[in-house]
Chain A
Amino acid sequence: MIFLLELKKILSMAALWSFVALCFAFNIWAIPSNLRNVDFDTTTPFPENIFDGYSASETADVYIAMFNLSDRVADRMAIKHEALQAAANERAAEGASFSPYLGELTQVMHLNLFHGVAGVLGRLLFQGMLLAALVALLAIGYERASNTEHSIYTTKKGRGLLRSKIAAGLVAGVGLYILLAAATLAVYFVMFDYGAVWGNNVSSGFNYVIDIIGARPFITWRSFTVASYLGASIGLGLLLVVCFSLMGASVAVFSKNGYMGFLALLLINALFLAAPLAIPMNTYSYFASFYSPIWLWWNSHLWFTDGGITTLWRHFELWGTGFSFLALAVTCLFAVKKFEKRDIQ
């Protein structure tokens, strides 16, 4: 009941809807026009099985030599690549490499859809995160902004209202992300016909990852079709959006007003983003610093793959999101507890 009233308060903010509309327009505009009306070859299989005879340890050795990794870090890197070898063998056995995907344009189109910074999904995720954090800030700052804290928090419901606000902010943030994603992707898949592609393996030989050591195959830990990879990416993105909602909520409780809260959020994420620059590379902390929510978004095109040089452990996206969620949930609970004991001026 109260939850619904709070949700209604959030969703009746016109600015929010304008922002969603703006994001949608931007997303459509940002789809590269030169790729529209191209005839993709979705029938010719990739000619060879690139995973047959693939050596993950070679890649590990290149990383270790190039970055002069210490023994401890190099060992972990080697262990990760042993696991990657097993995944590559599975891909070899199932013939993932032969999947036609989008032919010669596969890599470009794959990134066009999935890239963290320059892809449709990455943009959606960023907007979702921003939206969720903003919604949380607005929802929780609402009473202060309208100067109703005194009458609102002295009612029977009292400060327990904060929980309803956080829940409503979370639902609104996630809901708006889903809405935005659904609208954007609907337009995207009308522009690009994926009808023949959905069942293809994403680890097609046409697909590859380019990083500091050059092009590497796109190897996922488990077998993914284009459809299931898209689904998994959206799903995990949802959890990351939840993380940002919780982050926004925690910051909102402690900040003076929405504006200060927003600045604090920017600062926090800028610090997370800068963290790897400040930490020496030959430490576990360096690699752990890529598990922050903002870095998970940045590297979202590497989700469900080995993650390259930025991670020493398998499933960085799952662990990263999991840790972030737990840490932020605890922070948020702490903020709620703090709020119950705090003077409201």
Chain B
Amino acid sequence: MLLLDNVTKKFGKFTALEDISLEFSNGVYGMLAPNGAGKTTLIKMLTTLIFPTSGEILWNGDEITKLDADYRDIIGYLPQDFGYYKNHSPRDFMLYIAALKGIDQATAKIKTDQLLETVGLSDVKNKKMRKFSGGMVQRVGIAQAMLNNPQILILDEPTAGLDPKERVRFRNLISTLSKDRIVILSTHIVSDIETIANHVIMFKNHKLLANDSPLNICETIADKVFETNNITAIKTPYLVLTERQDGGETLTRFASEVDCSSLASPANPSLEDVFLYIYRDETL
């Protein structure tokens, strides 16, 4: 079990994350928060790239920095901006990472070929990565993260920059890889979370706001979401969530603290509604 105990991270005077306490056991955790909320900061602490200003991160009761190599041995990490050696082939690059992960050469070769097969890069495994598309690079990124069959798989915005088809592929891939381990991923794409995460983590004002199942999170704004084709009729304060065209009319989905069911039809809140509702004051 991975535990964050009152973790605060400051950059100089700026507090990026304050007093975060979290518990991770097997399952997929999706961090959903706007730009600059501190997702990458949290992930970098979990991967020992940066260190908490105060508080502790424990793996099965031991500080991860004390565990040192033993801890890094059980994590797999896809960074937000995944860099690679342009002149290397995916295979060469993975074999190098495998060496750094302390995997013996024979096993590394087998694992590399398996994983490249899983991510669908077998036919280009010996091609230089220079000419790879964003999606292909991202798939190399996840393959290298999986080399050591990590107990904790950490993916920082794994679906960013992918086209819809790639994104679906990628989600399926993550679902396949998420058995019997902790998967922590960050995203601002609500549908990513809806399809693969069984826990949602949200931050607001650099503090932990929610850590719950998607369903329970949606529950928090139950009875507050409505839809109408005549928004001007609503006289009480409301927050426009989304608008869409429906048979020549504009259908407005909005949130309101007061019950508007007499003027508009109640709707089931989605994660997207929650996201828009919670981060309403923040410029996205």
Using a CB–CB distance below 8 Å, which chain A residues touch chain B?
1-2, 5, 143, 146-158, 160-161, 341, 343-345
Query: Does B252 count as interface, using CB distance less than 8 angstroms?
Result: no
- The residue of chain A having its C-beta at the shortest distance from the C-beta of B103 within the complex is A156
Contacts A148-B85, A154-B48, A154-B49; is A1 near B99 (CB within 8 Å)? yes
Instruction: Select the stretch in B55-63, B65-73, B266-274 that faces chain A.
Output: B65-73
Query: Does B51 count as interface, using CB distance less than 8 angstroms?
Result: yes
Q: Please report the C-alpha to C-alpha distance between residue A2 and residue B101 in the assembled complex, in whole angstroms.
A: 10
List 16 A-B residue pairs with CB atoms under 8 Å apart, sorted by A's residue number. A2-B100, A5-B96, A149-B83, A150-B47, A150-B49, A151-B78, A151-B79, A154-B47, A155-B100, A156-B73, A157-B69, A157-B100, A341-B51, A343-B44, A343-B50, A345-B50
Chain A nearest CB from B123 CB (Å) reads: 24
Contacts A2-B99, A157-B102, A343-B50; is A151 near B83 (CB within 8 Å)? yes
Contacts A2-B99, A156-B148, A343-B50; is A147 near B75 (CB within 8 Å)? no
Which of B51, B83, B84, B100 is most buried by chain A, counting CB atoms within 10 A of its CB?
B100
Query: Does B86 count as interface, using CB distance less than 8 angstroms?
Result: yes
Q: Is the CB–CB distance between B84 and A148 below 8 Å?
A: yes
- The residue of chain A having its C-beta at the shortest distance from the C-beta of B154 within the complex is A154
Q: Is the CB–CB distance between A5 and B99 below 8 Å?
A: yes
Contacts A161-B100, A343-B50, A344-B49; is A154 near B72 (CB within 8 Å)? yes
Using a CB–CB distance below 8 Å, which chain B residues touch chain A?
44, 47-51, 68-69, 72-73, 75, 77-79, 81-86, 96-97, 99-102, 141, 144-145, 148
Q: Please report the C-alpha to C-alpha distance between residue A72 and residue B179 in the assembled complex, in whole angstroms.
A: 78
Chain A nearest CB from B167 CB (Å) reads: 21
Q: Please report the C-alpha to C-alpha distance between residue A149 and residue B44 in the assembled complex, in whole angstroms.
A: 12
- Residues on A with beta carbons closer than 8 Å to the beta carbon of B102: 155-157
How many Cβ-Cβ contacts under 8 Å join chain A to chain B? 75
Q: Is the CB–CB distance between B72 and A158 below 8 Å?
A: yes
Interface of B is mostly: loop
Q: Please report the C-alpha to C-alpha distance between residue A170 and residue B145 in the assembled complex, in whole angstroms.
A: 31
Q: Please report the C-alpha to C-alpha distance between residue A150 and residue B144 in the assembled complex, in whole angstroms.
A: 12
Residue in B51, B68, B97, B148 whose beta carbon sits within 8 Å of that of A151 in the complex:
B97
- The residue of chain A having its C-beta at the shortest distance from the C-beta of B68 within the complex is A158
Q: Please report the C-alpha to C-alpha distance between residue A238 and residue B78 in the assembled complex, in whole angstroms.
A: 42
- Residues on A with beta carbons closer than 8 Å to the beta carbon of B86: 146
Q: Please report the C-alpha to C-alpha distance between residue A1 and residue B86 in the assembled complex, in whole angstroms.
A: 22
- The residue of chain B having its C-beta at the shortest distance from the C-beta of A145 within the complex is B83
Q: Please report the C-alpha to C-alpha distance between residue A161 and residue B141 in the assembled complex, in whole angstroms.
A: 20
- Residues on A with beta carbons closer than 8 Å to the beta carbon of B144: 151
- Residues on A with beta carbons closer than 8 Å to the beta carbon of B77: 150-151, 154
- The residue of chain A having its C-beta at the shortest distance from the C-beta of B148 within the complex is A156
Q: Please report the C-alpha to C-alpha distance between residue A154 and residue B73 in the assembled complex, in whole angstroms.
A: 9
Which of A2, A155, A157, A161 is most buried by chain B, counting CB atoms within 10 A of its CB?
A155
- Residues on B with beta carbons closer than 8 Å to the beta carbon of A149: 49, 83
- Residues on A with beta carbons closer than 8 Å to the beta carbon of B96: 5
A-B contact sample (19 more), CB < 8 A, given A1-B99, A154-B75, A343-B51: A5-B96, A146-B85, A146-B86, A150-B47, A151-B79, A151-B145, A154-B47, A154-B72, A154-B77, A155-B100, A156-B100, A156-B101, A156-B102, A157-B100, A157-B102, A158-B48, A158-B72, A343-B44, A344-B50
Q: Please report the C-alpha to C-alpha distance between residue A207 and residue B176 in the assembled complex, in whole angstroms.
A: 79
- Residues on B with beta carbons closer than 8 Å to the beta carbon of A155: 72, 97, 100-102
Q: Please report the C-alpha to C-alpha distance between residue A146 and residue B78 in the assembled complex, in whole angstroms.
A: 15
- The residue of chain B having its C-beta at the shortest distance from the C-beta of A161 within the complex is B100
Q: Please report the C-alpha to C-alpha distance between residue A93 and residue B101 in the assembled complex, in whole angstroms.
A: 64
The 6 closest A-B pairs by CB, nearest first: A147-B83, A150-B79, A155-B100, A343-B50, A148-B83, A157-B100
- Residues on B with beta carbons closer than 8 Å to the beta carbon of A345: 50
- Residues on A with beta carbons closer than 8 Å to the beta carbon of B48: 154, 158
Q: Please report the C-alpha to C-alpha distance between residue A160 and residue B68 in the assembled complex, in whole angstroms.
A: 11
Which of B78, B81, B85 is most buried by chain A, counting CB atoms within 10 A of its CB?
B85
- Residues on B with beta carbons closer than 8 Å to the beta carbon of A152: 97, 100
Chain B nearest CB from A97 CB (Å) reads: 59
Chain B nearest CB from A140 CB (Å) reads: 16
Chain A nearest CB from B107 CB (Å) reads: 14
- The residue of chain A having its C-beta at the shortest distance from the C-beta of B102 within the complex is A156
Contacts A146-B83, A150-B77, A150-B83; is A343 near B49 (CB within 8 Å)? yes
